[in-house]
Structure 1
């Protein structure tokens, strides 16, 4: 069983009303919906941070592509896709 803890946050009156409406419509508690929103936000932000760290590791390891090479590859990919229509 997952343990939980209580947290207090400040939101706009509009956000609170929207949360209350969504809770009524979905028959979920405001707390459940807010916790779900926080969890999704954290997952998204963590994925961004992980991507940045992978990019930094690539740079540190010398795995670099010039802007011209990257642009040429993207242009070729787009041309190939357009040719398949």
Structure 2
């Protein structure tokens, strides 16, 4: 396992300390979990964005009819 030195705001460190005490876990474990969660979430979000861009480059958009069907399903009908 690698060692990483980072700077964090005093308030953030206080929050990490408090959480580590409440969970009875070391600070390093809390920080590692946070970094892992961030990396997974960002990678997932970027993959979805890239897939959407690929769809757009192929002109793969919903038709007006498909959009209307979805809107009709979720939007209240207008009188």
- What is the TM-score of this pair, normalised by structure 2? 0.82
Q: Segments of 4+ in structure 1 off by > 3 A? A: 68-71
What residue in structure 2 maps to residue 75 of structure 1?
Answer: 71
1:2-81 matches, cutoff 5 A: 4-65=1-62, 69=65, 71-79=67-75
List alignment gaps of at least 5 residues for structure 1.
none
List alignment gaps of at least 5 residues for structure 2.
none
Partners of 2:33 and 2:7 in 1: CA distance: 17
Number of equivalences: 77
- What is the TM-score of this pair, normalised by structure 1? 0.77
Does 1 or 2 have the higher relative contact order (CA < 8 Å, sep 6+)? 2
Q: 1:12-69 deviations in whole A, cap 9, x for unaligned?
A: 1011011111111111000000000000001111111000110111122221236x55
Deviation at 1:74, TM superposition (A): 3.0
